[in-house]
Amino acid sequence: MRKQSLWYWLFLFPVLIALTVVVIIPFIFGLYYSFTNWNGIQSTEFVGFKHYIKLFQDGEFLHSIWFTTKFAIASVFFINFFGLILALIVTQKLKTSKIMRTIFFMPNLIGGLILGFIWQFIFIKVFAGIGDLLHVEGFRGWLSTTETGFWGLVILMSWQMAGYIMVIYIAYLENIPQELLEAAEIDGANSFQRFRHITFPLVAPAFTVSMFLTLSNSFKLYDQNLSLTGGGPYDSTQMVAMNIFKTAFSENQMAYAQSKAVIFFLIVTVISLTQVYFNKKREVEM
Partner 1 sequence: MKTKKFLLTMLSLFLLLSTVLFGCSSSSTSESKGSEKQVTLDIFQFKVEFKDQFEQVAKQYENQNPGVKINITTVGGGEDYGVALKSKFASGEEPAIFNVGGPQDVADWEAKLADLSDTKAAAQALEGTLDGVKKNGQILGLPYNQEGYGLIYNKKIFAKAGINPENIKTYSDLENAVKKLEANKSSLGIDAVFAFPAKETWVTGLHLSNVFLAPEFNSNVVNAFNAKTVEFKYGNAMKKLVDLQNKYSVQPTVSLDYSKQVEELFSTGKVAMIQQGNWVYNSIADIDPELAEKNIGLLPIPVEGFKEDSIPVGVPMYWAVNKNKDQKVVAEAKKFLDWLYTSDEGKDIVLNKFKFIPAYKGYDSSKISDPLSKEIYNYAQNGKTIGWVFMGYPTGWGMDKLGVNIQKYVSNKMTWDQLIADSKKAWEEARNK
| Shortest separation between residue 10's beta carbon and partner 1, angstroms | 5
Q: Find the shortest distance in angstroms from Cβ 158 to partner 1.
A: 21
Considering only 91-99, 139-147, 164-172, 189-197, which stretch makes contact with partner 1 by CB under 8 A?
A: 139-147
Q: Which of residues 13 and 66 has its CB atom nearest to partner 1 in the complex?
A: 13
Query: Given candidates 107, 131, 201, 230, which one binds partner 1 under the rule CB under 8 A?
Result: 230
Contact positions with partner 1 (CB under 8 A) in 23-62: 40-41
Closer CB to partner 1, 65 or 143, in the complex: 143
Rounded to the nearest angstrom, the gap between the alpha carbon of residue 191 and the centroid of all alpha carbons in its chain is: 32
Amino acid at 258: Q
> At closest approach, how far in Å is the CB of 77 from partner 1?
26
- CA angle 17/256/48 to nearest 5° reads 90
Contact between 131 and partner 1 per CB under 8 A? no
CA distance 194 to 205: 18
DSSP string, 141-180: TTTSSHHHHHHHHHHHHHHHHHHHHHHHHHHHHHTS-HHH
Per rule CB under 8 A, is residue 3 in the interface with partner 1? yes
- Tell me which residues in 233-252 interact with partner 1 (CB under 8 A): 233-235, 246, 249-252
**Residue-by-residue DSSP string for 59-120:** HHHHHHHHHHHHHHHHHHHHHHHHHHHHHHHHTS--TTHHHHHHHHHGGGGS-HHHHHHHHH
Which residues contact partner 1 by CB under 8 A? Answer: 3, 6-7, 10, 13-14, 40-41, 124, 141-145, 230, 232-235, 246, 249-252
